[in-house]
Amino acid sequence: MAEEPENRMLFDLRGRRKRVIQVIYVILAFIMAASLVVIGLPGGINPFGNSTSVNQDAAEANLERAEKLQTRSQQQPANENVSKELIRARINAGNSLVEIDQTTGAQTVTEEAQQQYQLAAESWDRYVRRSNGDPDPAVAQLVANTLFTLAQGSTVAQFESNIQDAASAQQFYADNAVKEQKNGGVNAAGPLTQLATFQLYAQQYDKAAQTRKQAIAATPDKAEQEEIRQTLDATEKDAKRVGKLITKAKKQARKSGGESLENPLGSLGSDTSVGGTTTP
């Protein structure tokens, strides 16, 4: 039997290209998932009325563990291992409090989940200060992804803070990836591409342009380089759309005494969510 030609593969996931393709898929998943995530409205209102559920047993167990680690962290403020475990525990608690729509699979970040994510972010800030600006890169990436999730569908006032913090956390992870590549590790194109994505949504276009150059330079593979360009081109287009929404909200805020900044930037099924479709 003749072998099938290799060019039938959409993406070659073998060898050194594997990691950057995986990260690009993650970035695309973030953008696509944004239209399936909504920050819980006051009073737990769900405007779509579908049946949702939370795994209460898992949520209670994760909350209990987070509270115990919180106590330990207060007792041992210099213990970095406890600090890192507390951050992970808060994020796990938040994840377990996300409501899943049984019909569509859409996820709603409830107010309780938001609270845990915010506590994780606060713990992260304390940990970074105590680590003298040299935090665990794996924890940094986890926090960056969590803050990006928290930013999706949030109010205009919250969005800018969360997305900027996500970019800052991802910077630690990307910088470490660059160091590892110089020492013979896997190329840093993936982490850098993800950093550029966060910077674009944070409206940090100059920084994103520099990170984009780094990401492309991190891999000698021409196909990888083109995939990075296409991914970030699409992301930049959407980030500029979001930037226009933010600018419009700020203009309205000057007329309404800041009220418009408390309105959701995007919500489930909306064309104004991060990664949503652009209105013609």
Average pLDDT, the chain: 79
Give residue 232's pLDDT band: very low, low, confident or very high (50, 70, 90).
very high
Residue with tokens 């991060």: 274
Higher pLDDT: 226 or 30? It is 226
Instruction: Give percent of the chain above pLDDT 90.
Output: 52
The pLDDT value given to residue 216: 97
Partners of 264 in the β-ladder: 155
Radius of gyration of the chain (CA): 20
Neighbouring C-beta atoms of residue 34, cutoff 10 Å: 24
Give residue 228's pLDDT band: very low, low, confident or very high (50, 70, 90).
very high
* Residue 243 to residue 225: CA distance in whole angstroms: 26
User: Above 60 in pLDDT, residue 26?
Assistant: no
The pLDDT value given to residue 150: 84
8 Å CB contact between 218 and 192: yes
User: Above 50 in pLDDT, residue 38?
Assistant: no
The pLDDT value given to residue 237: 93
Average pLDDT value for residue range 124-136: 93
User: Above 90 in pLDDT, residue 133?
Assistant: no
The pLDDT value given to residue 176: 96
Give residue 261's pLDDT band: very low, low, confident or very high (50, 70, 90).
low
Listed by start position, the domains of the chain span 19-37+152-255, 53-132
The pLDDT value given to residue 222: 95
Give residue 50's pLDDT band: very low, low, confident or very high (50, 70, 90).
very low
* Residue 238 to residue 272: CA distance in whole angstroms: 10
8 Å CB contact between 111 and 78: no
The pLDDT value given to residue 29: 52
Residue 99: φ, ψ to 5°: -85, 140
State the virtual CA torsion across 34, 54, 169, 84 in degrees, nearest 10: -170
Show the tokens assigned to 13: 């996931």
0.85 surpassed by pTM = no
